[in-house]
Amino acid sequence: MRVRVATTILGITATLLVLPACSADSVDSQPIAAPSPRTGKSSSGNTVLPSAALETRLLDESDLGSGYLRKPERPARHDDITVIGCPALNELGGDAAIGGSLSFPRKAKVSFTYGGGSSEVAEELYSGRGDTLSDGIGRIFEAMTGCPTYQVIAGGGTPISMASQKLSPPRGLGDEQWSQILTASTAGRSTVVKQTAIRAGSLLLVVSGSPALVDRHLDRALDKATARS
């Protein structure tokens, strides 16, 4: 299965460019629902779930606490994508759609604003064979974190300067973990987004957004995604 890495990059940068610059301290000063304890789950089994089942396992406003508003899904946009300064990303290649998702067929996603739109957090959930999920997301993280700086241009628009930094992922969650910090800069403005991915059996969870919100809600997202009905 070919994973459209450019889609992932632009999905992240689309979020980056609409997120106002916000420090972790300013987010932490707001009342947010307390995180659930880490479960240490190693797997959710190997059953591949349909997209409809994944939808029911996404976070909703009642899981997050007060101050969150679900964002309507944007219509897909198909633009030509150019990645400058990162051959590994170009090698993965593929068509791109700003705001799109990984090209695994069974998927669901949701995103929220917090505090009147000053911060955002997004969740993507995929299901498939464990080795397929692991290979796809692993190649993307390796390519992105292997290029400390690069540029992304969508549809001949303004170049977006990207900086990536690999992070130590949270241990004891799922079977495999990946994490990174991305900084997008354009028109004199920079925004930082954290992205953490957890594979648990046949499920792949990706949480992106304001770093403090990703840290706050990652455990809860994994708990709900891997809960057995």
Give pLDDT, residue 10: 46
Average pLDDT over residues 130-143: 90
- Cα separation, 171 vs 142, in Å, equals 18
Give pLDDT, residue 93: 57
pLDDT (tens digit, 9 = 90+) per residue, 155-198? 778 888 989 999 998 988 999 999 999 998 988 888 899 999 99
- 14 versus 132: the higher-pLDDT residue is 132
pLDDT (tens digit, 9 = 90+) per residue, 211-228? 999 999 999 999 999 997
- Cα separation, 185 vs 160, in Å, equals 6
In this prediction, residue 39 has a pLDDT band, given cuts at 50, 70 and 90, of very low
User: Which residue type, as a one-letter code, is found at position 211?
Assistant: P
Q: Which domains, from first to last, does the chain contain?
A: 5-20+39-226 (3.40.1000.70)
pLDDT (tens digit, 9 = 90+) per residue, 197-208? 999 999 999 999
Report helix, strand and coil shares of the chain as percent, to nearest 5. 30, 30, 40
